[in-house]
Amino acid sequence: MLEFGKIVLFGVGLIGGSFALALKKANAVEEIVGFSRSPNSLKIAQEIGIIDRAGINPAHEIADADVIMFATPVQQIPTILEKIFPYLKNPNTILTDVGSSKLEIVQQARKIMKGKIGQFVPAHPIAGTEFSGPKAAFPELFQNKKLVLTPLKENKDEFLDRIKLAWRICGAEIFELDPESHDTIFAGVSHLPHMLSFALVADLANRENSNLFFEFAASGFRDFTRIAASDAEMWRDICLSNRYTLIAEIAHFQVVLNNMMAALATNDKKMLEQIFSQASQARNEWAKNKQK
Ligand code: NAP
């Protein structure tokens, strides 16, 4: 059923592309018009069927858009919003995003949109891979995954329902958080782990004998560092836009790391075992609950 008319998509990579493919697979959208940074990404996106056509003039395209989605690296979102905002005339057009951090995007959107902020519905799909670009997109990416909305008090229920519907069609389960809680939680379970994984691989890669380390790195290394293969620009933007919360998370983590270092230095078996067994239990519990 055609639930949506025209969707204007800024960013036709893994997330924007998968969203578009899922809606198209469900025959839920009439037309998707794409904008990207490089003509090559747009060409690929059109070949794969993510978009029906490449947009040329954003001002012209957004005039009759049902939904405008921002699926670019997070720091590009306010920049694009600022450029297109003067042309947003239709009060029924819903703007939404998929950014992995929320508070800064919401604050900047408020400054730009002022009285029209109710048209912006912030969202974050909790799904992804370490691959990027339109070729990485696939329609099942969001199946049985969480979608977190961070609704604003100005959002009309009708707008929230439209965005929820789009994500349900993609197969996602909808959750709601406020932007601050969202950023605190994801600093802990996503942004910090990415920092740690990038840090470990960068540290090893910088050593003179890095090839020896990598030669013997095996499955534990593969599991811990899969996310260090992620796109550098995307993660730079996420970490910077959530930097104050992330700095607090790093400080928190450093306390545990220092305790572990002290336990090693003093041969404190009890302390080390206590930290390891608490972590092991929590990880097993988490994995068990995930399978349910
Ligand atoms: P991606 O595959 O690299 O796609 C990003 C897209 O944005 C590319 O098509 C890129 O174009 C385009 N772009 C960059 N700057 C632009 C600009 N100024 N104007 C128009 N298009 C522009 O990245 P992604 O994984 O889809 O991530 C997109 C967003 O989703 C990010 O905000 C990220 O935080 C969020 N997110 C990611 C994941 C994940 O695991 N990957 C999960 C949840 C949410 P070019 O290719 O032409 O440069």
Identify each DSSP E strand in 91-210 by its residue range. 94-97, 120-121, 123-126, 146-149, 173-176
Among residues 269, 240, 258, 264, the alpha carbon closest in space to that of 103 is found at 240
Residue in 10, 14, 74 to alter for ligand 1 test, most ligand atoms within 8 A of Cβ = 14
pLDDT at 246: 98
The atom number, within ligand 1, closest to the CA of 15 reads 26
- The answer, yes or no, to whether any atom of ligand 1 lies below 6 A from the CB of 209, is no
Beta strands 173-176; 4-10: pairing state: unpaired
Task: Compute φ and ψ for 42, nearest 5 degrees.
Answer: -65, -40
pLDDT digits (tens, 9 = 90+) for 29-54: 999 999 999 999 999 999 999 999 99
What is the reported pTM? 0.95
286 has pLDDT over 80: yes
Distance 64 CA to ligand 1 centre (A): 24
From atom 1 of ligand 1, which residue's Cα is the shortest distance away? Answer: 13
Report the alpha-carbon distance of residue 255 to residue 250 in Å, rounded: 9
pLDDT digits (tens, 9 = 90+) for 77-120: 999 999 999 999 999 999 999 999 999 999 999 999 999 999 99
Q: Which amino acid is at 193?
A: P
13: left (phi over 0), alpha (psi -120 to 50) or beta: beta
